[in-house]
Structure 1
Amino acid sequence: MFLRTISLRDSAEMDNSSYPFTIPVIRNFRELELTGNVTFFVGENGSGKSTLLEAIAHQAGFNTAGGSRNNLYEVHRSGSVFGEHLRFSWMPKVTEGFFLRSETFYDFASHIDELQKIDGRAYDAYGGRSLHEQSHGESFLSLFNNRFRKGLYLLDEPEAALSPLRQLSLLKIIHDMESSGRAQFIIATHSPILMGYPNSRILDFDGDRITEVEYEDTDHYNITKDFLNARERYFRELFR
């Protein structure tokens, strides 16, 4: 592990009447101790999981538009107000890593195209060709396979571009990296496949405060399992 503790530096300076401090989990956040190399943030849309992940990226020095410390470009509304209020405890501190922000990955791919025009070597870290010339899922896997090496990796809904089979490929990449002690992952996800990763910690954002939850107790697992086992019952309720 690298990042051990995330804590609030100055709650008195937060404006609880403005976003994102109107989100209950963010408003009540004080400290989060990380106890393993793979941590999942889960919860409904708007619960604050992506907001906290983005704030971690900000405080870690990564580009909150998506990328590492060295990817200097901007997209609309990619800053983090909450990140300015956090402080970290590292052991040891690392500067390597990456913030995958699925919703702005197109902009990141365009940024890499611009870098390629400048020095002709930017594609080397992404399989040798433009991310725009690959399918959405292929471009994600090119990033994972070629760019991920060592450090802190923050992934915001990586399943957005991945089929179930490709999600299993991502789990293999995570296992190879974290089990060797080279990487730590914090992942915001809705995928019951990803959050099933063995010996990981799942933190639920659906409530006033972050709580730890077992895999089989997540809504994602139970709704998916129930639907697969009795989808006709769901259709009868939904379409009546």
Structure 2
Amino acid sequence: MYYLQQIHIPVEKETFFPFSVPAFAKQDRLILEQPISVFVGENGSGKSTLLKALALKINLPAIGSLDLETDETLDGFRSFSNSIRLIWNKNRNYRGFFFRAEDYFGFVKRLKNIDVELKNDIVDFEKNLSGYGRKIAVGAVNGQKEALTRKYGDLTQVSHGEGFLKVLQSRIQTEGIYLIDEPEAALSPQRQLALFSMIKSMAANQGCQFIIATHSPILMSLPQAQVFQFDESGINPINVEETEHFTIMKNFLNNPDSFLRFL
């Protein structure tokens, strides 16, 4: 089930960013025909820009230290987001999230702040309550602390990549729409394959829709993925093997010396 079916990009072009991105000037809509859509392109081509605008338009929860409404780094994308029109199927879903690689540490900080607040609540309850009321209040807060620990563990005690993958594994649920921006920034090739397996399974078996911006040929190769190339000619479907990312990586690994002599 694909919840988001079409993305209509504004025809009335403004001259300021992000309206001025060349890929948007040549494209008025994207038709999403698969449960996984992958946005690829060079830095500055517009793939992450469109993903941020979609997150704002759908008003998805953000995994990070700030909500989308209060995140000042997204202020420059709000007018563009407002001008986008989306077409959903009749079973539009509001479950999901928006996650950028750089948001991970903000999320860890948010969890630490929540833990501190819960500890302070316990101190306050033990100071101001007594008897059965104190027992119930402290027990409820300890229950919240234990639930967070069961769900995420202690993210300060694992590597960036391990924690990043743990957060995704803990938050992705059935029948949701998930916007993920450049997850490979945190992940080794082996961890990318673990994410690959999870996305593949959730899309095929759990009714999830994924829209991913990436530079990773591994993630571009997801089965059932529709790959869109962002460049000056617009936003066009492309086979993974035809992407610059794939061909450069393949050619480099096959013959690194041919590259190194010119670098």
Give your verdict on TM over 0.5.
yes
Name the SS for the 1:93 alignment partner. coil
Aligned pair in 2 of structure 1 residues 104, 67: CA closer, same or farther (>3 Å)? closer
Where in structure 2 are the equivalents of 1:1-240 lying within 5 Å? 1-8=2-9, 11-12=11-12, 14=13, 16-63=14-61, 66-67=62-63, 71=67, 74-79=70-75, 80-81=77-78, 82-91=80-89, 92-119=91-118, 120-121=144-145, 123-124=148-149, 126-129=151-154, 131-150=155-174, 151-238=176-263
Is 118-127 or 44-53 further displaced after alignment?
118-127
Name the SS for the 1:172 alignment partner. helix
Amino acid at match of 2:262: E
Question: Highest CA radius of gyration, 1 or 2?
Answer: 2
Identity across matched positions, percent: 37
TM-score of the two chains, using structure 2 as the length reference: 0.81
Cα deviation, 1:53-110, whole Å, max 9, x if unaligned, reads 01111111124xx329x95774441232221111221221111101111123222321
- Return the alpha-carbon distance in structure 1 between the equivalents of residues 68 and 32 of structure 2: 28
- Return the alpha-carbon distance in structure 1 between the equivalents of residues 69 and 115 of structure 2: 14
State the Cα RMSD in Å.
2.2
Aligned pair in 2 of structure 1 residues 54, 23: CA closer, same or farther (>3 Å)? same
- Return the alpha-carbon distance in structure 1 between the equivalents of residues 101 and 253 of structure 2: 27
Unmatched 5+ stretches in structure 2: 119-143
Amino acid at match of 2:101: S
Shift of 1:196: 1.0
TM-score of the two chains, using structure 1 as the length reference: 0.88
- Return the alpha-carbon distance in structure 2 between the equivalents of residues 73 and 152 of structure 1: 19
Cα deviation, 1:196-220, whole Å, max 9, x if unaligned, reads 1123111000223101111110111
Amino acid at match of 2:171: R
Shift of 1:233: 1.0
Shift of 1:126: 4.2
Unmatched 5+ stretches in structure 1: none
Shift of 1:140: 1.0
Aligned pair in 2 of structure 1 residues 232, 55: CA closer, same or farther (>3 Å)? same
Amino acid at match of 1:24: P
Shift of 1:124: 4.6
**Are the aligned partners of 2:68 and 2:74 in contact in 1 as well (CA < 8 Å)?**
no
Name the SS for the 2:7 alignment partner. strand
**Are the aligned partners of 2:26 and 2:233 in contact in 1 as well (CA < 8 Å)?**
yes
Aligned pair in 2 of structure 1 residues 11, 117: CA closer, same or farther (>3 Å)? farther
Structure number with greater CO (CA < 8 Å, separation at least 6) is: 2
